[in-house]
Structure 1
């Protein structure tokens, strides 16, 4: 996975609260091999009518070039399916901005290079107002924790370890390996100072 520090793209508003993981990718599509891509299934039942035709008024259908979504509260709630993140990433989405996220969804997002940018209510209202006339250019800076739309700049919350993972393209295993020298040193010291707790050597 390739890491990133900044991103410039189009952000569109999808101000719907409580979009859960089953809406992000309905369960009936999860038997499809990941290698085939999940992007076409993103928000499938919201984006399409009863006969399967794309809804001409749905924001992502009108602006498929968008790479950032401003969503409503509690985005990614529901089941723990990582496929919800795959669908966003495979559709070219690099970040989702919202006042809150499902905890498991947010962790899955970080492990797949997708930024869950959490903003406060005031910032959310300002961003929503800025997008009232349609998608806008946005610049995301992970180091500075800022989102910039023209003259509007707001901050987002992101744990330092999550920022490190996004910037380096790491998952949890990579993050642990980054501390391998400290782990090795601890192992050596522990074997000397607490020999009673150390496994006996094989004969």
Structure 2
């Protein structure tokens, strides 16, 4: 998993509440078990018409936001079914941080396991960041995980909270497998000892 330290990028405004996982990645794209290739179908039903043409008004189709790395959205982001494809699609598009007043629990947890930083903030602070994101490609935010701060394009600083263990995992690029591999020497020592003590096992 790629480390998350400091991210400076374009923030896309998506001022919608209750953005569910079917909106993020519709059910017809859940056949794959691969984490790549889903970015093109992120928000598919909002990004494309029935003929597969881009809907110009949708934020990620606008030139200013095609390379967005941060998403600012509304309350209860990631609700609905517990599909891990939702964070896969967000990450594959290139978004590493989602900011909202609140998140659905399973989506929130899945973000950390896939290298995405979800930040929950009070509504008034999300509104401030939403207005900053609406400035377009010239307004670049910085998310500093180590300092736990968001810097707006005009220099305002907004602190945020994050669980220390999850912060450690993101900073070090550790998913569940990576955490297990940190214990590899102890695991190998245990297996070697058991093999000598109980060779019949």
User: What's the TM-score, normalizing by structure 1?
Assistant: 0.84
Structure 1 unaligned runs (5+)?
188-200
Corresponding residue for residue 93 of structure 2:
91
Q: 1:109, 1:57 → 2: CA distance?
A: 27
CA shift digits 1:4-58 (9 cap, x unpaired): 2101111111111111111110010111452651011100001112332111111
Backbone CA RMSD of aligned residues? 2.4
Task: Give the number of aligned pairs.
Answer: 190
Aligned pairs (5 A) from 1:49-198: 49-62=49-62, 63-135=65-137, 136-149=139-152, 150-175=154-179, 178=182
Structure 2 unaligned runs (5+)?
191-197
Structure number, greater radius of gyration: 1
Q: 1:36, 1:5 → 2: CA distance?
A: 22
Quick one: structure 1 residues 14 and 166, their matched pair in 2 at CA, closer, same or farther if it must change by over 3 Å?
same
- 1:120 Cα deviation after fit: 1.4
Q: 1:148, 1:131 → 2: CA distance?
A: 12
Q: CA contact under 8 A between 2:10 and 2:68: conserved in structure 1?
A: yes
Deviates more, 1:123-132 or 1:54-63: 123-132
Matched, 1:8 2:8: yes
Deviates more, 1:80-89 or 1:121-130: 121-130
